[in-house]
Each structure stands twice: as structure tokens, then as C-alpha cells.
């Protein structure tokens, strides 16, 4: 039962994830429902579950993963 509860997201959490996913897919010029979009969604869900719970935090983490963040 805890596996299912770990996978449950509130509407607000879904909105945050979807908003960040839209931005990132636009950057990639990839439709959300493409394989690239699904891959990004998978990574973002993992990031969200590991504590990146805002749009800015998700996008920042994605930039660090892709090496796009300026140092």
C-alpha cells in the first residue's frame, strides 16, 4: 500500500510538474507526448519526488543535469 501512496500526487503537484514539463519540452522543441517528452516527464517526476517541488526548482535541476547552468 505504501508504494501506491508514494505515487499519488495532488492536483497542485501535477500542475507544477506539467508546467515545468511544458517549458522544458518547448526548449527541446519536442511534443510532450513524444518519446523525448515522456523521458523528460520521467526525469522530472524523479526530481520532484527527491525534493524539487517547485517549477523553478525542477527547471534548475534539469539545467544542472544538462549542464546548461552558468557557473
What pLDDT is attached to residue 5? 54
Listed in sequence order, the residues at least 6 apart from 43 whose beta carbon sits closer than 8 Å to its beta carbon are 62, 65
For residue 12, give Cα distances in angstroms to 17, 44, 66: 9, 15, 26
Mean pLDDT split into 10-residue runs, the chain, 71 residues: 66 97 96 96 95 97 78 41
Distance CA 39, CA 8 (A): 19
What pLDDT is attached to residue 66? 83
What pLDDT is attached to residue 58? 97
Amino acid at each position: 500500500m505504501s508504494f501506491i501512496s508514494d505515487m499519488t500526487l495532488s492536483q497542485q503537484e501535477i500542475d507544477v510538474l506539467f508546467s515545468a514539463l511544458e517549458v522544458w519540452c518547448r526548449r527541446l522543441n519536442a511534443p510532450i507526448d513524444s518519446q523525448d517528452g515522456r523521458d523528460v516527464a520521467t526525469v522530472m517526476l524523479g526530481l520532484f519526488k527527491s525534493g524539487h517541488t517547485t517549477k523553478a526548482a525542477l527547471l534548475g535541476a534539469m539545467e544542472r543535469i544538462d549542464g546548461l547552468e552558468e557557473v
